[in-house]
Amino acid sequence: MSFNPTSLLVTGGAGFIGSNFIHSFMANNPECTVTNLDCLTYAGNLKNLTALEGNRKYRFIRGDIGDAALVAGLLADQRINAVVHFAAESHVDRSITGPEIFVRTNVLGTQIMLEESRKHWQSAVVSDFRYLQISTDEVYGSLGDTGYFTEETPLAANSPYSASKAGADLLVRAYHETFGMPTLNTRCSNNYGPYHFPEKLIPLLIHNIINKKPLPVYGDGLNVRDWLHVRDHAVAIEAVLKQASPGSVYNIGGNNEWKNINIVNLVCDLLDERLGRAYGENRTLITFVKDRPGHDRRYAIDASKLKHDLGWSPAYTFEQGIAETIDWYLDNQEWVSEVTSGAYRDYYQSHYGGGAA
C-alpha cells in the first residue's frame, strides 16, 4: 500500500536539488501542501521558485533547521505527515577549507530534524508519517577501476562533506532502529541540470566557457563521476517517499560514468557549436590545476534495488540531459549573472520584507 503525503515539509528547497524536487513534486501532487524551510545560505536562491509565487499550496519559511522550536512549530501547525530533508552544506571543496559548518548543518541539523520529527510522529497528530533523508553516494568512499556501490557497501567517507553526510545517515538509521521511526534514506550520484550553483563542475564549465575563462581540471582529470539529471532524481525521491518500506535505504543513479576530462571536452564541444566558435576553440581554455586533497577517484552507483522494487528508471539520456542543461543556462543568463554578482541575495528582502541575509 502506498503512502499518501498530504502536508510535506521540505528543507533546503531553495537549493539546486530541493527546488527542482519542489517543482516536480507539486506538479505531480497538486493536492499536497508544501512548506519549504530554508535559511538561504549562499546556495539558497528563491529565484529558483518564482513560478510558485501565489500558489496557495506552497509556502516558504526562512529559518534554520538548527532551530528546534521553529521546526517543532512547523510540524505541528502544518500537520506535516512527511519530511524530505535536503538542507545541507553540499560542496566538497568548501568542506576542505571550512569543515565546521558541515558538521553543524549536516550532522547536528539532521539530529534536530530527526528529534523533532520523532516527537511529532509519536504525538500522533497525523495518522501516518515518513521522514526521508537525502544523501549521497559519497558516503561510501571511493572505488577502484571496477565495481559499484550497493546499499550494503560499508560507509567509508573521505571528505569532511561526505563524513558529515555519513554521520547523518547513521543517525537516521539509529532513529529507525531505536525508536522504530518510519525513516527512509536515499543516496544519489552527482546531479546536473537547471538551477545548479555555478561553483560545481558542470555549471562552472558552462559559465566559464561563455565568458572565455579558464576551465580548472583537478589533477589528471581522470576521476570518474556517475551523472544523473536532477529531475530523474526528483522522480526517484517521490517514488521512495510513497512506496518504500520504512527503514529502507535506496541508491539512486543512472549508470552514467564519465571521466571528468571527457565531460569537460563534451561541454566545450557542445558550446563551440552553440556559441558559433570554431571546433576545438573552447578546449584551449582547459587548465589542469593542483588536485583536490583526498580527491575520490571513482563513484559508480548500483541502483538495481530501486529499479527492481519501485520500477524507477531515468527518463533522460545523458545526451539529451546535457544538451538541455546547456541550453537552459544559455537561456537563463540573467539567473546566472544574478548568482555570480550576488544580486539574488536581495530577492528575499524585496519579496518577503524580512531581515537582511
Residue 201 binding result from ligand NAD, ligand TYD, none, given CB thresholds of 5 to 8 Å by partner type: ligand TYD
Phi, psi for 190 (deg, rounded to 5) = -60, 135
Residues linked to residue 128 through DSSP beta bridges, in sequence order: none
Q: Does 231 bind ligand TYD (CB under 6 A)?
A: no
CB-based contact 167:104 (threshold 8 Å): no
Nearer to ligand TYD, 82 or 264 (CB): 264
Which of 164-172, 197-205, 238-246, 338-346 is the region at the interface with ligand TYD (rule: CB under 6 A)? 197-205
Q: Grid cell 504525538 — which residue?
A: 123
Choose among 69, 89, 31, 51: nearest CA to 60. Answer: 51
Which sequence positions are flagged as catalytic? 137-138, 161
Q: Does 164 bind ligand TYD (CB under 6 A)?
A: no
- Cα dihedral sign for 216, 222, 224, 230? positive
Residue 207 binding result from ligand TYD, ligand NAD, none, given CB thresholds of 5 to 8 Å by partner type: none
Please identify which residue in 36, 185, 260, 282 interacts with ligand TYD, judged by CB under 6 A: 260
Name residues contacting ligand TYD, limited to 289-328 (CB under 6 A): 292
Q: What DSSP string describes 156-201?
A: ---SHHHHHHHHHHHHHHHHHHHH---EEEEEE-EEESTT--TTSH
Q: Does 229 bind ligand TYD (CB under 6 A)?
A: no
Please identify which residue in 75, 80, 82, 92 interacts with ligand TYD, judged by CB under 6 A: 92
CB atoms closer than 10 angstroms to residue 194:
21
Query: Which DSSP state fits 64?
Result: -
Nearer to ligand TYD, 91 or 104 (CB): 91
Q: Does 190 bind ligand TYD (CB under 6 A)?
A: yes
Please identify which residue in 62, 130, 200, 207 interacts with ligand TYD, judged by CB under 6 A: 200
Residue 223 binding result from ligand NAD, ligand TYD, none, given CB thresholds of 5 to 8 Å by partner type: ligand TYD
Q: Which three cell numbers stand for residue 225?
A: 563521476
Nearer to ligand NAD, 172 or 282 (CB): 172
Residue 165 binding result from ligand TYD, ligand NAD, none, given CB thresholds of 5 to 8 Å by partner type: ligand NAD
Contacts with ligand NAD by CB under 6 A lie at 11-12, 14-18, 38-41, 43-44, 64-66, 86-88, 90, 105, 109, 134, 136, 165, 188, 190-191, 197
The SS3 of residue 246 is coil
Nearer to ligand TYD, 63 or 216 (CB): 216
Dihedral-angle region of residue 200 (phi above 0 means left; psi in -120 to 50 means alpha; beta otherwise): beta
The SS3 of residue 273 is helix
Within a 13 Å sphere around the CA of 188, how many CA atoms are in the beta-carbon half? 24
Q: Does 217 bind ligand TYD (CB under 6 A)?
A: yes
Q: Does 157 bind ligand TYD (CB under 6 A)?
A: no
| C-alpha distances out from residue 90 to 163, 196, 198, 303, 336, Å | 12, 12, 13, 22, 19
- Secondary-structure percent of the chain, ordered helix, strand, coil, rounded to 5: 45, 15, 35
Q: Does 209 bind ligand TYD (CB under 6 A)?
A: no
Nearest approach in angstroms of CB 155 to ligand TYD is 16
Which of 27-35, 96-104, 214-222, 266-274 is the region at the interface with ligand TYD (rule: CB under 6 A)? 214-222
Q: Grid cell 506535516 — which residue?
A: 80
Please identify which residue in 132, 201, 336, 339 interacts with ligand TYD, judged by CB under 6 A: 201
| C-alpha distances out from residue 263 to 3, 96, 266, Å | 39, 24, 5
Residue 92 binding result from ligand TYD, ligand NAD, none, given CB thresholds of 5 to 8 Å by partner type: ligand TYD
* Amino acid residing at 326: I
Residue 191 binding result from ligand NAD, ligand TYD, none, given CB thresholds of 5 to 8 Å by partner type: ligand NAD
Which of 198-206, 317-325, 336-344, 349-357 is the region at the interface with ligand TYD (rule: CB under 6 A)? 198-206
